[in-house]
Amino acid sequence: MTIDLHGHVAIVTGAGGGLGRAHALALARAGAQVVVCDPGGGRDGRSGSIAVAQAVADEIRALGGKAIASATSVTDAVAVNAMVANVLDQWGRIDILVNNAGILRDKTFAKMSLEDFRSVVDVHLMGAVICTKAVWDIMREQNYGRIVMTTSSSGLYGNFGQSNYSAAKLALVGFMNTLRLEGAKYNIHTNCLSPSAATRMTEDIMSPETLAALAPEHVAPAVVALSSQDAPNGIVLCAGAGSFERAFITLTKGEMIGDGDGVAEAVLRRLPAISDRSGELTPAAGPEQAAHELSHAMSHQRRELA
């Protein structure tokens, strides 16, 4: 089966280089018409030019594809809405949104300013929220949409010196988990990509050998898969160096401890049993945690009454 995106319109943010450029080119090769959105700033988000987005749009046109360049900042809701309106005027629909835009301002939490924390959250999290909000009603009305959030292993598992970035990236998983539920009946599938790739965001924290192995082009097929008509809904797909994995947020079976005196101490004492991953669950939605806990409690009560 070949993924065919002809007739589909995709917006890719942060598409002027690195992963975003690779995503935009891969979607174009699959037939999509692509909006290359990138304000052209440095990796810290400062300064910029439309020339960065225009260069990628020109690459797509040179391949025989269709592309629009935009220097819109994902943190500017008015500008994002104007960009979306322009895309609708030119191409009539929006089928795919790849929220890839991001910046880095790495420091340990002790040395990080609130401004640097907020700036990273604003671009990664609120930028994705603003762009998704701009296309959400369009996708609902056309009863079709594919949205890709870009999370990170730093968000899923943590990384020294990236408390701002990690917080924003894991927040995107929570955002995705609710949108997958709210969008399902409108055929809007929302997923997360956790990429491992060599870009200007990582060029000074990886060895030359590692940088060579982690080409962004090895990640881009995951975006094409998550943008396709057969895309799943609500998964975290990891990709890097040609390898693909899936990350899960699971719930252990746990232990019924009850209430009353000594419960806090019992929690610490029995933490190994609480942490036992045999038979762990992957809840389909948040309320399943409470349902699981209530089931434990009711079973405990029945045993006491027996």
> Residue 191 is part of a domain; what is its CATH number?
3.40.50.720
Are both 124 and 212 inside the same structural domain?
A: yes
Strands laid side by side in the 33-37 sheet: 67-70, 33-37, 9-13, 96-99, 145-150, 188-195, 236-240, 243-247
- 245 is written with which tokens? 């994995």
3-state secondary structure of 274: helix
**Does 243 share its domain with 207?**
yes
User: Both 163 and 115 in a single domain?
Assistant: yes
| Residue where one domain finishes, among candidates 201, 222, 247 | 247
Residues 6+ apart with CB under 8 A from 31: 4, 5, 6, 7, 8, 65
Which pLDDT score is estimated for 205?
63
pTM (two decimals): 0.94
* Catalytic residue numbers, as ranges: 165
Based on the fold, state whether residues 287 and 152 are members of the same structural domain: no
Q: Are residues 159 and 267 in the same domain?
A: no
Give residue 303's pLDDT.
76
Q: Supply the pLDDT for residue 299.
A: 82
Res 44: pLDDT: 52
The answer to whether 173 touches 192, Cβ cutoff 8 Å, is yes
Which parts of 122-262 fold into alpha helices (H)? 127-142, 153-157, 163-183, 208-213, 220-226
Q: Domain range for residue 299?
A: 263-305
Same domain, 172 and 282: no
Q: Give the number of domains in the chain.
A: 2
- Regarding whether 194 and 283 lie in a shared domain, the answer is no
Per run of 10 residues, the mean pLDDT along the chain (length 306 residues) is 96 97 98 97 65 97 98 98 98 98 97 98 98 99 98 97 98 98 98 88 68 90 98 98 97 94 97 97 94 86 74
pLDDT for position 120: 98
Residue the block writes with tokens 């990429």: 195
165 and 294 inside one domain: no
